[in-house]
Structure 1
């Protein structure tokens, strides 16, 4: 039983180790998602979008009335005014004031309304910038992804060329042992094989550098223990059908940098209207509710009623009888805190108009500055569109040139493949020289390398155009 458990444990550990060493296959979309998720620039743009949304919400909330409360406690010494009776007293008085005040702007030249539209346009511009940052990351990942795939194919091509040289060297070594060939012929082929080994090493280094660039864009630790999913060459090598103008028109509708420039121009136009509103009178409604307390506040309290004779009298049967009246007796006592606050409540409401007559021409100059900013945003928008057209035209020209080079390279490979086949047959038959063989092989190797590079160059140029033509 122990032996069985030991064998099962060994098998399980071996399977786990093999699974851990198995390269993980990543798709292009997984690489893009990882890069966007881990990008600091994208996260910063997201925070800027959140801040713009808060500014937009605040602009809407500015339409609501304000409500503020106040509490003030103080001590007066010496001659002062009793806040309870408004009469002069000469004593130490503790006093307190409580108040609530509210203001509501009824009209201010549509300043608040235009501020809402301005901040809303700014929020849309920030959102477009956020989308543009994600699109830029996406494009960079696609290009880095293609570089990794191209270097992988370079490695495969270099190994294939090296294998041809190795087989030829092995054949010549056997012939050299038999004395059937001249030794320099073998040395020429060995040198060719070593050059092939160098090409393999160089291709592997290029692959590692491309993979490092991709992992840095994804913001993950560098590792060679994952592979990339291959792309469909049939679709990737299809001719590009859209024209440069079609790509440009689609880019105008989709590119975040264009949308951001357009929204900032709209925001600047609303800023002009908002600042012009400052030149109009402001109509506002205000109200307040207040109460106060004074330690000097007192009230008289009835203690007793006593009969006191007066100087008046009444005649009864000719006899003067004095008149007795009731006289109250009061005691003074302080009014408590809560009673004063309740009894001293007073409120007010009113409507006012604030007319800007002269404020050092601040309102007029703010309008002029807002107009300058609008003109600047219009120039920025025009410049962004102009740069976009130039980029699209350059990308389209690069794609066209890459397509032509790819077609010519394919024809060149076919021609050199036939030439190498004939040279190899002659060389194996002992008729051709090593110089002819190596020249034909080098020509074919260069042609295959050019075909590989032009193929990926065309695919890369198409991806750039697809980035604009979404």
Structure 2
């Protein structure tokens, strides 16, 4: 019962997909798929935003060269006995007080930390661009793999349908032969079972094709993918003659072009700058400062003491702007800070960055070793895929001849249905092997070209 429900659901999905496919107006090429993915993939978009963030960090580092300027303003009410900040006399009253000021400071010398921070920021931009490029290259390979899987499943489905058509024609002819008494009725039952197996294989192949299309559509971030389809614009030939090159030649070329090595090298340079910046904290820091301030009071001003009552006498306060002019003041100077002891924080920070520097060196060395291993592995895989593809082609030719011979014997009644079905199954399997090994070989060649610096499509940096 579960199997029937599963089959009904699968056929419903496939039927809906088939109706949409009939209305399709476009079939995507490999280059179109890759370019669309590079423009729309969410992971790439996030990586592009990381590049923008690093560019903002560079602006922050550049801003450290300039002085800081900050303004301040305050207004306060003092109730009760307090000291008037303008007259500096104590009295019991409610006073209002306004203060204005401007402060500025600039680093004159800071152990070259500002300069090295700016240089590190420029390296970080390069590293983020390499990271984006590596993401684009990885997406391109993933798209190519998904694209070739679709083509493989499409050809496999074609083979399965052709096999079903042949078996259905055999069934019709066999029914006539059974009625004529030429072959036993048991052969007819075997053939009906074979047709059922063919139909099951078609269902599996259609499911695989549907899933592969959905996978590629998701890589491309397509919102409407019901009518998505691709066209075979690939060629199972080594057009760039990459197999004629030696693995060492490919590896030497890869060392010059591969993004992961450039990224690891840039990260090493960033780690070196981090050590230099940390060591800068050992040196004295000299900065200049300037401050302007003024204030005004809104309280009555004490003018003297009444000789009769012995109480202070008051006069209205001066105009506010006159007070601002009379009470203004300036201060400027130099500030020198010499690090003597900071709880080993500076030393520990230097040591921590030295450890990270060693890790970056090891990472660069490991990336180089990984690249060498990957290149040799890719070359071996491509060579093996080519041999397998050629062998499967030879096998298919032999199976085709064997099938033709078996068909001739079956048609004249010299071979039973079971043996003929076996020959037919071997032919179908050989056809599937050729399809599988063909696209496996194409993808292996793409990987090898990738290491040699030949992209699937040229990546245009923004």
Pair 1:40–1:412, CA change in 2 (3 A)? same
> Does structure 1 residue 27 correspond to structure 2 residue 29?
yes
> 1:124 is paired with a residue of what secondary structure?
helix
Deviations 1:157-182 (A, max 9, x none): 11222222223332222233333333
Runs of 4+ in 1 over 4 A off after TM superposition: 17-20, 75-82, 221-224, 236-239, 296-300
Q: Name stretches of at least 5 consecutive residues in structure 2 with no aligned partner.
A: 1-18, 304-313, 454-462
**1:21-76 alpha-carbon deviations (Å, 9 max, x no partner):** 23531222333344344433223222222221111110011110010112233345
Partner of 1:409: 392
- Output the TM-score relative to the length of structure 2: 0.83
CA distance in 2, matches of 1:195, 1:77: 98
Match of 1:108 in 2: 110
Q: Equivalent residue of 2:281, what SS?
A: helix
- Structure 1 position 409, deviation (Å): 1.0
Q: Is 2:296 the counterpart of 1:287?
A: no
Cα distance in 2, alignment partners of residues 432 and 334 from structure 1: 125
Post-superposition offset of 1:234 = 4.9
The equivalent residue for 2:41 is 39
- How many corresponding residue pairs? 424
1:358-400, Cα deviation, whole Å (9 max, x unpaired): 2223222211111111112222222233333333332222221
Q: Which residue of 2 aligns with 1:337?
A: 320
1:419–1:440 contact (8 Å) kept in structure 2: yes
Q: Which residue of 2 aligns with 1:200?
A: 202
Matches within 5 A, 1:135-214: 135-214=137-216
Q: Counterpart of 1:392?
A: 375
Q: Displacement of 1:91 after TM fit?
A: 4.3
1:118-137 aligned at under 5 Å gives the runs: 118-137=120-139
When residues 50 and 81 of structure 1 are mapped into structure 2, their CA distance, relative to the original with a 3 A threshold, is same
Which residue of the other structure, out of 208, 229, 232, is the alignment partner of 1:230?
232
Q: Which whole-Å CA distance do the structure 1 matches of 2:327 and 2:373 have between them?
A: 76
Cα gap change, 1:399 to 1:222, in 2 (>3 Å): farther
Q: Distance in 2 between matches of 1:438 and 1:334?
A: 115
1:372 pairs with 2:355: yes
Distance 1:437 1:360 in 2: 87
Contact 2:21 / 2:228 at 8 angstroms: preserved in 1?
no
From 274, 277, 281, the equivalent of 2:277 is 274
Q: Name the residue aligned to 1:463.
A: 446
Shift in Å at residue 254 of structure 1? 3.7
* Greater radius of gyration (CA): 1
Kept in 2, the 8 Å contact 1:212–1:222? The answer is: no
Shift of 1:205: 1.7
Residues 428/220 of structure 1: CA separation in 2 closer, same or farther (3 Å cut)? same
CA contact (8 A) 1:395 1:461 kept: yes
Please tell me the root mean square deviation across aligned C-alpha atoms, in Å. 2.9
Structure 2 CA distance for aligned equivalents of residues 269 and 18 of structure 1: 57
Q: State whether structure 2 residue 245 is matched by structure 1 residue 262.
A: no
Q: Are the aligned partners of 1:79 and 1:88 in contact in 2 as well (CA < 8 Å)? A: no
**CA drift at 1:267:** 1.1
Distance change >3 Å, CA 422–CA 337, structure 1 → 2: same
Give the C-alpha shift of residue 116 in structure 1. Answer: 0.8
- Comparing 45-54 with 335-344, which one deviates more in the overlay? 45-54
- Cα 1:297–1:287 shift into 2, 3 Å: farther
Question: Could you say what secondary structure the match of 1:289 adopts?
Answer: strand
Alignment-derived partner of residue 243 in structure 1? 246
User: How far did residue 78 of structure 1 move?
Assistant: 6.6
Once structures 1 and 2 are overlaid, which stretch shifts more, 355-364 or 445-454? 355-364
Summarize deviations over 1:404-429 as a string: whole Å, max 9, x none.
11111111112222222222223223
Deviation at 1:354, TM superposition (A): 2.0
Offset at residue 217 of structure 1 (A): 2.0
Please show how residues 301-320 of structure 1 align to structure 2 within 5 Å: none
Instruction: State the match for 2:435 in structure 1.
Output: 452
Instruction: Using the TM superposition, give the Cα deviation of residue 111 of structure 1 relative to its aligned residue in structure 2, in angstroms.
Output: 0.8
Cα 1:188–1:94, aligned 2, differ >3 Å: closer, same or farther?
A: closer
CA distance in 2, matches of 1:436, 1:277: 84
Equivalent position of 1:355 in the other structure = 338
2:236, 2:442 within 8 Å by CA — same for their partners in 1? no
Change in Cα spacing, 1:344 to 1:221, as seen in structure 2 (3 Å) is closer
**What is the aligned partner in structure 1 of residue 218 from structure 2?**
216
> Structure 1 or 2: larger strand share?
1
